[in-house]
Structure 1
Amino acid sequence: MRMVFGLVLLVGLALAGFAVYMAQGYISQYQMALAQERAARQQQVKLTEIYIAARPLRYGEQFTIDDAKKVKWPQEAVPEGAFGKQEDLFPAGAEQFRTVLRAIEANEPLLAVKLTEPGADSGINSRLSVGMRAFAINVDVSSGVSGFLRPGDRVDVYWTGSAGGNREKRQFTKLIEAGMQLIAVDQTADQDRTSPVIARTVTVEATPQQVASLLQAQSTGKLSLSLVGAQDDTVSAAVETDQNKLLGIEETDEKEQVVEAPKDPVCTIRTRKGSDVIVTEIPCTN
């Protein structure tokens, strides 16, 4: 009887130990899963909602709310100018369409820089900054960088002409405006155009004072454009050259000396009459 009791006790102790072991394993797994969940919550990216394009949009198309959809986007990676609310995209009381200024692919965030204001078209007036004016410059294949200019590029403007009086008149070339923004080439302001086009005019964004300077320069000489690199943020210094500098001829300030022709010698004779002396010129024999 005692043996049976001892066996039962041993079996009970074994079952109890096994139960405790299983419970410890379950608790350890639960604690590990809980720790992993807490770590995942700490690393979870904060999201916000923005509007993206529901379909591809091209330059000049009219865009409405039906062409947009709202999605969750990482809060720290929201592009500048993105729209988070419908009131920002289409304010109440305003026209319920915008015009596309630059190509937008499907599922790409809608940005203010790629759309006009509500109700506006894609004309160059929508591209002008406050206080700026549009000015057209006549170009050809040589002065227009062989047709590789497109809206959004920056150019330096050079003037070639003559200045000075009749005797001091000289022809020279000078940089008159640096880093001017192109807003249109011929009659298009599409920044996504990539094929070269030989333009007849380019339109730049300028202040009223720059417009006056360019108008005066265009009427008195020839304007040529030089394309500025996309990543170039340097400001061009004063640049001027003429034929003498081009050929390495040093200018001199010495005035032309006038050489007078020698005068013929004059011979005279003196004749005294009383108290008077008469001087008479005669041909020189020597």
Structure 2
Amino acid sequence: MSLYIGREASKLWKRICAETTTEINLLADNWKYILGGLIFQYIHGLAARGVHYLHRPGPILQDVGFFLLPELGQDKAYISETLFTTVFLSFVVWTFHPFILKSKKIYTVLVWCRVLAFLVASQFLRIITFYSTQLPGPNYHCREGSKLARLPHPQSLFEVLLINFPRGITHGCGDLIFSSHMIFTLVFVLTYQKYGTKRCIKQLGWLIAVVLSLLIIASRKHYTVDVVVAWYTVNLVVFFLDKKLPELPDRTGGASLLLPLSNKDKDSKTREENHKLLNGNSVDPADWV
């Protein structure tokens, strides 16, 4: 038993080392896209913080979702946040699964390049939208009488640049149309829909997206229009950008050219080339690279 465990541990370590080498090479080629996407996450947070200064609390707008869905209450607002956090962490873990599991359909760096491209495009449209018109926030901390409904004018540039994470993100007001939570959720679900392998998880992902939409409205964190606009905007953004971005190399068809060949793979490749030569077949020069 100990011998078997040691052998499997050695295989896992070799797999992790091989994947790490591959991903580092990919990161060296694509670090600008990753860095740009991460910087824009800060810009998006900065924009959401900025619109909070413009927010003016007022009467909650008439909303069909508020009529149909009972209000969960302030003490149950954690339910939607817990579900969203579960989706976020699950997706992150899935993108790193090639380091551990044998199934290698995706490259972590390349997947995150696409995900960040989808997020940046959707968040850019979101910033334009919520700065165009500021609606009175339906969330509890955005209503009249709450100390957080209005932010005092900043006293310095440093105060503006300080997002106050995470409280400044979770207790923002004015950044309504459209929902940021739904942007992340739909981008993650659509990405797994294309590159995931488990059909049941794909179906579960869409179900969770619908449930999260209802919970966001029931928690009064967003108006129904914020969720509805997110559904068709994010889907359209992903649909059009997906056609423009280079497709990921498929790793299910065998060993990838990006992965270093093991001694066993090299010996197998050499025997195949020798077999071609013995039968009078020419060897493709690309195979010698």
TM class by smaller structure: under 0.3
TM-score by length of 1: 0.19
Larger Rg: 1
The structure richer in helix per residue is 2
TM-score by length of 2: 0.19
Using CA pairs below 8 Å that are at least 6 residues apart, which structure has the higher relative contact order?
Answer: 2
